[in-house]
Chains A and B, each alone.
Chain A
Amino acid sequence: MNKNPFDTFVIGARKGFQIGINNLLPNVLMAYTISEILKLLGVMEFIGKVFGPFMGIFGLPGEAITVLLTAWLSSSAGAGIAVNLYASGGISNTQATILLPAIFLMGAQLQYMGRLLGVADVPKKYWPALFVTSIVNSLIAMFILKIFA
């Protein structure tokens, strides 16, 4: 170890700032705008009705599926949609807690397909199994938190 902890902290904080500006901010801005479009078009209400029974298994309203669908493309955007839903009264504190691990367990899979499975040369034949496993992981995590949160 050759740096003092203050310098080390600053290196980490700088990484945090970069992630905040380059990743979090554009994704959350997009998520908020998409939420608005879906609300204006009435899609949110429709999704809420259609997925209500399924999401009910996990103690969530139907609209919460938008969090999962978005998280699958980008974790930041998924988190943004969740916050937006919370702010508009769509989900409660408990429901936000239930969603949090799921956002990451099935998060950003489309990106990680290239960045992880592609780079590590995991044979393509097994990719579908890995996708399904991740989604099942999320569902189990939501179920666990439904009981304990």
Chain B
Amino acid sequence: MTKLQNAIVGGVRAVIGHVPESWLPGGTPDPLIDKRVTLGEQQSRVDGPDKVRGAARFAAEVAMENLLYAAFVHSTIARGRIADIDVSAAAAASGVALVMTYRNAPKMSVPPPIGMTNLKAAGNHTLPIMQDPEIRWNGQVVAVVLAETREQADHAATLVRVRYDAAPARTRFEEGKASAYTPESILVERNRIEKGGPSRKFAEAAFKIDAVYTTPWENHNPIEPHAATIVWRDGKLIVHDATQMIHGTAGSLAKIFGPNAGDVEVSSPYVGGGFGAKGLWDHQILGAAAAKLADRPVRVALSRASMHRLIGGRMQTEQRVALAANADGKLNGLLHHGFGVRPLHSICDEGFTLTGRSLYASESFDIVQHYVDLDLLANSFMRGPGETPGTFAIECAMDELAHAIGMDPLELRRRNVATRDPLSGAPHSQSAMMEAYDLGATRIGWDRRLAEPGVRREGEWLIGMGCASGTFPFMRMPGTSVRITIDASGHAHVSSAAHEMGMGTATVQRQHAADRLGLPLDRVTVTIGDSSLPFASFAGGSSQTASLAAAISSASAKLVAELMRIAGNDTPLAGLKPSEVEFSDGGVCSVGDHARQESFASILRRANRSDLSVVGESGAPLEIMKYSMHSTSANFCELRVSEVTGEIRVDRLVGAFDCGRILNAKTASSQFKGGMIMGLGMALTEETLLDERTGRILSTSLADYHVPVHLDVPDIEVLWTDIPDPRTPLGARGIGEIGTTGVAAAIANAVFNATGKRVRDLPLTLDKLV
């Protein structure tokens, strides 16, 4: 990310800022914001029955004849070279078909890095994969074993003998800080911000807090570990993958293995959870390479241990936040500095310092983040990247400031909530965070909270309440396209290479298409999850719903025009222009006179057509250049802390969300709750344990990496403002990531309220409280 990029983005924003609103996408609010039939309802997932019956086929379950199973050998040093690798015993072991190392691996180019400019790229790091004897992190794959059974492959992998020439490795965070680097930009935002004279504001402020917060390395741990079933057929690479980047994976594999992107097919109809982890990593690439060498299909199904060693997680961060306020709590200064571990070979930004730029109208800002380059596995995107660790620091700091002033923390937010973008001055497309706060406060009974910490008690349990804001930017990806096909019976078939990781993609877009096209739900089908379908961007950044919705909206406009064109002159609609008709009741009718209508089936029949297809695309997301667009939330927590053991038991979580209109109450509620549980895990237990002496990850199973168990998860209540965003398709903003943001801070703030102890280092394990 360069200075040039900052200049370009700044220039585009300046120009867009002067463009009339009606020119921009969403300039005319989407009529479906109000004209809803099935949208907004509770709808069960269309993929639910197949999943419950076990009929849904996941990547590791795709049947294939002559299949070989892969096992990986991981490096045990962080830096150095393979001096010798003896595969003879492994190759001779029962059932083994191939042992692949850098010595016999096919030539592969470096994966093209994922980014905003190339939507067919999905690489998470820029390192060569099994092309040389170099070791770049502890856990890197040094050999792939293919065998007739998984057990044979696993056994043979233990027989590979590797001797290393170890080199000094940089694996310690504290030591790495000294040589941290400072990028010019974070995602598409300028990194260094100094505005409004922060040093003077801090010097003059009535109240100040200044503290350092840390968040550990975390791993995603979806219920389905990464897996792919891979075959080369007539020179074409076919990958049944578990991915949230179908076309990115297909495009990247085409670049890695050959010149022609059309030669790679990726299918991924069901993904058992992604959270940012299900992208392109070494396992698909190595699996494809080994399948090519062995000339047989290969199944790669990562163990939890391999997953932790090969799939990057959320970077470790250390964040300093200083806040200054005047006597009535108005923010004079917001300082947010920090370090995060991002190896130079890593692609992913973790914009934890973006959080404080949008939430509060401080008079001055002093913001910059640095990256620590270590010899570790590349970090990656994990639910709410940037804002999840960022809100922990900012929202704990707000709580500390409220306590210092002696003000209710909710009131402190009310006095500082931004009414437009605090840095650029751009107007909000829509924002009602304080309405979310009011909803949540009422639900949890915030008036029961005692301002003085450590005084509510039941037996050995100290009881406390906390709150914190959550935030995540709106994103809509360009290039996502859908095909709508109307068949002879008047049914609509919507298709796109979009992704289903459990969030209800097809379910919600089926509701959307039904409402958009004036059809009942049972006359709409949605097909996703395969690269043969129209191009779709990744399912990430909470952008997929908006991107697909824009594409369906665009396609439906084309569909009207096409229907009118083939309808001819013998239709009741004759003489009307496409702009004078709309979808209604399974066909097209005059806007002013619904009696002038002809059904899809009738139009196709007369035109002698068996079907009619159009493709629409999500255009450039210029709205995000003009408007400040963020989902926001108010998190509330009530919990107990044992005075004896320091154990925390969270009794209640309330999340109140301002994310535009909610499209499906059932799937949205599940998304929010899942996100909040991930935030709960971040707060209480989750930590990737790294041995800094060796760069070795220790927590390689679900017994060692603690995600919350059922008993940790309290009653979770989810509320939403449901206020439409007039600048987005369907009036909706993303809901996938925001659920996680702010939760850890709300819990840490509640712990402070309960105990009077301020723990600034996650996770909040009991040893930090006794």
Whether A and B are associated in the same complex: the answer reads no
Show the binding face of B for A, using Cβ within 8 Å. Answer: none
